[in-house]
Amino acid sequence: MNDSETDSQSINALIVFRENGETDNLFVPILCDAIKMAGIDVRCSQKEFWESDTTYDIIHFQWPEEVVGWTCEDPDVIHRLKERIAFFRSRGAHFIYTRHNIRPHYANDIISRAYDIIESESDIVVHMGHYSQTEFMQKYPDSRNVIIPHHIYQYTYKEDISIERARQYLNLPQEAFIVTAFGKFRNREEIRMVLGVFCKWNEKNKLLLAPRFYPFSRYNSYGRNILKRWASRIGYYLAIPLLNRMFNLQAGANDELIDNCDLPYYMAASDVIFIQRKDILNSGNVPLGFLYHKVVMGPKVGNIGELLSETGNPTFDPDNKQDILRALKEARRLATWGQGEVNYAYGMENMSIRKVGQAYAQTYKQASNG
């Protein structure tokens, strides 16, 4: 065993994240395994952060919402967060923060304050691109920062699925050119952006696959508001089938999660992955698209725009429909020219689980050595 392996194995780390594994975002469970593969003794637990007296060398924050709660409204949690950080620091812990978002998607004052505390208290901040690091250093010029890319999802989903088999499984037409917008549509602007451009696109046999598109629900999502509840259910059962036929869509309700067993079939069935965000820092759909040999198009914003431009994938101004249409046509050409294979090769070389795990292990050692 060499010295670096000995150093790694002597580090005891805690990633502050739910320990039950119940999440539709597998970034952290995969990252935890990758860091273990690099020789670090690491575990995931939110409860351990709040209740344990265990001494850790590294406390690793991901989303601040995972620390305080995604809908937290308890003002006392800010005081307790400061106390717990001070407690672990008094025991010799160093803090790492992986920056997923610039600000919370659904912010309130408490969660925003939790962001401020975690950002300012972390010894090293990990960014997934230069954009994030540059933006962060404007606010914290004395911060220590490193860039480690988003890992691809190797060994996580079934990968050897042919496009024909995937389309058969999802009951999709074999001859269609399928553009997939994966993930929940968060607002009307994202719906208008994607649907407006897709309708203008003069492409034969086009199909938009958007499993979490419509703001309708078959569940009682509006509590006691009977009118909204029934409008939502009518929209679910009547409007969705009608709109899907009218606009060449295969789209579902945005509150229905995609099972992790079905997710690889959506990726494999696609010709192009469309990142439908107007304002975003990172997206797991980019490395996921790369893993499945797909062309990925997305907004010219955040780390996403940086990565897509660097790898030769189409980017667009999310406020310019003509520019989005241009990017869509470019994605169509690139899919024919084999850009998806280029993306796969790039992902395997630069974003593999092994390489990312080793980079985090090195960052842990740097933090531990002060």
pLDDT in tens, 248-262: 889 988 888 888 899
Count of other CB atoms within 10 angstroms of residue 151: 25
84 and 146 fall within a common domain: yes
Residues 180 and 129 in one domain: no
Looking up residue 263, the CATH number of its domain turns out to be: 3.40.50.2000
> What pLDDT was estimated at residue 62?
97
Q: Which domain holds residue 197?
A: 163-350
Q: What is the pLDDT of residue 230?
A: 67
Mean of the pLDDT values across residues 86-93?
Answer: 96
The three-state secondary structure class of 249 is strand
* Same-domain status, 80 and 219: no
Q: Is the pTM of this model over 0.95?
A: no
Residue 157 lies in a domain: no
Give pLDDT tens digits for 222-251. Answer: 556 667 666 777 777 788 888 888 888 899
Shared-domain flag, residues 88 and 173: no
Residue 360 phi/psi, 5-degree rounding, is -70, -40
Does residue 34 register a pLDDT over 80? yes
132 plus 254 within the same structural domain: no
Domain-embedded: residue 156 = no
In the sheet with 177-180, reading across from the earlier edge strand, the strands are 249-253, 206-214, 177-180, 272-274, 295-299, 315-316
Write the pLDDT tens digit of every residue in 306-349.
999 999 999 999 999 999 999 999 999 999 999 999 999 999 99
Closest CA to 297 of 334, 338, 252: 334
Q: For residues 192 and 122, state if they share a domain.
A: no
For residue 303, pLDDT over 90 is answered with yes
Residue 236 confidence (pLDDT): 72
Q: Report the number of distinct structural domains present in the chain.
A: 2
pLDDT digits (tens, 9 = 90+) for 135-166: 999 999 999 999 999 999 998 999 999 999 99
Is 70 exceeded by the pLDDT of residue 43? yes
> Same structural domain for residues 122 and 175?
no
Q: Which residues of 91-118 are buried (b: 16+ CB within 10 A; e: fewer)?
A: eebbbbbbbbbbebeeeeebbebbbebb
Summarize the confidence of residues 287-297 as an average pLDDT: 97
